[in-house]
Chain A
Amino acid sequence: ADVCTFGMLISKVDICAEEICVCLYEFYRSFKDYLHSHIPCRRRDVLVLTPWLAPIVWEGTFSRDILNAQYMQKKLVTGVVTFAVKKYVQFIEGFMSSANKYFLAGHQVIFYLFTDNPEQIPHIQMAPENRLFVIPVQNHSRWQDISMSRMDIISRYIRSQFQYEVHYLYSIDVDVQLFEHIGVEIIDALVGTISSWQYTARRESKSYETRTESQAAIPKGEGDFYYTASFYGGSVAEVYKLTRACFKGVMKDRENGIEARWHDESHLNKYLLYHKPTRLLSPEYYWDAELSRPRIIQVKRMCSVHKNMLRTPGIPGSIMWAMLSCHVFLPLDFTII
């Protein structure tokens, strides 16, 4: 059966017939298991490769042991940039303690913590391979300005400092906690994380900037994925190019009196559309705690902890339309409106 046509056909059929079709397809698929049967890593329910052949990292697609063996000789040093400005200092402890435990455990990590309030930083127990640099930074009155100035700060510091200290650099929001290991599977030249909002009913609220006056505008009908600005990174060279380009876009917009819909995230998405990431991380790698978890998310490695969003009147059990999923209709937790 041709999967494409099959998928589109069953979208026109009602639920009962759909369940039968899905069963038949599963039956057919089970015969294919002899192919590479010694390789346990396999996810069929999600897209694991982009059309430009970048892997999409999901639980079950990789062996961390094999990957760690590849990095053994390389003496990998990775930087993490995070910003804790104003009230966000309250998240430092949770972030740092969970990151020390779960982020690239066993590898050298240098944390660069930018804050406007260095005195408020609690004592943090660092893992023996890791280091922490606290860098004072100015705050702005608008959180959007703080958010967008991150790009500028990161690019300047890469140039003056980070490029001499780390091979790879990741920017991570501070208001998160890690619950599961995030390891060398994230290491690649240019890495974006697919936004967890792609899976929710509110999908249309998290989408590209379309106003052509903005530098972040993406023409209608274009776009590969929606990436989150809460977790991205890559080699220092690539992150430098990305942050420079994004900040240039922010400044140009400011001159033209416009601000992109989702601020630095809109600019990030524009950049990653035209400079394709070499690796994508599934929403396991940054899950917005406001959302309930669909079945295709087997692990939540890093989750937001902020609760500053109003509870949205829910569609019960939240809809998990995963365009990355093979099932056009969803499994049991799907609720029909």
Chain B
Amino acid sequence: YTFECCYNSLTFLFFSFRRQDVLTVTPWLAPIVWEGTFNAEILDSAYRPLNLTVGVTAFAIGKYTRFVGRFLESAEKHFMKGYRVNYYIFTDNPETIPTVQLQPGRRLVIVPIKKYPSWQEISMRRMEAINKHIAETSHGEVDYLFCLDIDMVFYNAWGPETLGDIVAALHPGYFNVPRSQFPYERRSSSAAHIPDGEGDFYYGGAVFGGLVKKVYEFTKTCHMTILTDKANGIMAAWQEESHLNRHFLSHKPSKVLSPEYLWDDRKPKPPEIHLIRFSTVDKDYKEIRD
């Protein structure tokens, strides 16, 4: 039995889809999706016949409407290509939403929403708005729903490898630092509190999703914990992101996306990141949040 076994076709297949430099499965056996772990063709052939519709929610409030055009144009190039997609753009200013040419099977739905006085409030009310919208509308229109930040651009393929029951993404700032440095909410008076020594990952609030039913459930739970904090006069360190992390600690995601799916262009690219799929747009936070 010789070294020819190396050239067996099965071996070749597995040498191509393998990452050993990163963790690719969580301790609860959820896959962590990195470039090089999956074969897009196999996944496509499994998901296409299901005739799925994927929804995307994004909030464009106040000055954030300026990001909608680029978000949608880049999504048309890279997000779930070949699938039916509904973009739900929540905005306080429907007239400022640009018209973007969409591929067949894809549509834009504008969801009018109230503007809250502070950006933190706007951010935290997203959970409630998404939850309400699912109950009223999107539960009957989509199978999967992703909730994304609007001030981002797609640069590379985002496909059915991201579909799962409950999907969270690793925050780009914390995937390669020790857990003690995760910016969890540490005050025990908050409902988003995670004590020292606990926690699996630090998930980013800019990307989460899953089956529409599951997204409904966890946006409801997050909204409840946010209201609890409000009643106690406390606001979590990173707003709804802290609540999301608390939630995903006790209700673990069934799939985790690597920081390729939630990148920050201001960060230098480490060797683990082979490909950037979805990333922040450079902006002046002070100017835009006032």
Judge: A and B partners, yes or no: yes
Interface residues of A (CB under 8 A from B): 3-4, 7-8, 11, 29, 32, 34-42, 44, 47-55, 57, 61-63, 66-67, 70, 185, 201, 221, 223-225, 276, 279, 315, 319, 321, 323-324, 326, 328-329, 337
Q: Given A39-B200, A53-B43, A224-B13, A337–B23 Cβ distance below 8 Å? A: no
- Chain B residue numbers with a CB within 8 Å of A41 are 25, 27
> 30 A–B contact pairs at CB < 8 A?
A4-B15, A4-B16, A11-B3, A11-B6, A34-B176, A35-B22, A35-B175, A36-B201, A38-B179, A39-B23, A39-B200, A41-B27, A49-B38, A51-B13, A51-B37, A52-B39, A52-B42, A53-B33, A53-B38, A53-B161, A53-B255, A55-B30, A61-B27, A62-B27, A66-B28, A66-B252, A67-B29, A224-B10, A224-B13, A323-B5
Smallest CB gap from B251: residue in A = A70
A52 to B252, CA, bound (A): 20
Q: For chain B, residues 1 to 28, give those with C-beta under 8 angstroms from any C-beta of chain A.
A: 1-3, 5-6, 8-11, 13-18, 20-28
A44 to B37, CA, bound (A): 13
- Chain B residue numbers with a CB within 8 Å of A326 are 18, 20
The contact size tier of chain B is 35 or more
A52 to B18, CA, bound (A): 11
A223, B3: Cβ atoms closer than 8 Å: no
B38, A52: Cβ atoms closer than 8 Å: yes
Besides A63-B28, A185-B29, 19 more A-B contacts (Cβ < 8 Å) are A35-B21, A36-B23, A38-B179, A39-B26, A48-B24, A49-B38, A51-B42, A52-B38, A52-B46, A53-B31, A55-B25, A55-B31, A57-B29, A63-B27, A66-B28, A67-B29, A221-B9, A323-B10, A328-B3
Q: Which of B9, B21, B33, B178 contacts A32 (CB 8 A)?
A: B21
- Chain B residue numbers with a CB within 8 Å of A279 are 29
Q: Which of B5, B15, B176, B179 contacts A321 (CB 8 A)?
A: B5
Interface residues of B (CB under 8 A from A): 1-3, 5-6, 8-11, 13-18, 20-31, 33, 37-39, 42-43, 46, 161, 175-176, 178-179, 200-201, 252, 255, 272
A37 to B199, CA, bound (A): 12
A225 to B26, CA, bound (A): 22
B28, A62: Cβ atoms closer than 8 Å: yes
Smallest CB gap from A204: residue in B = B1
Q: Is the interface of A mostly helix, strand, loop or mixed?
A: loop
Smallest CB gap from A321: residue in B = B5
Q: Which of A8, A221, A223 contacts B6 (CB 8 A)?
A: A8
B23, A49: Cβ atoms closer than 8 Å: no
- Chain A residue numbers with a CB within 8 Å of B161 are 53
A36 to B171, CA, bound (A): 13
A59 to B59, CA, bound (A): 43
Q: Given A52-B42, A66-B252, A221-B9, A324–B14 Cβ distance below 8 Å? A: yes
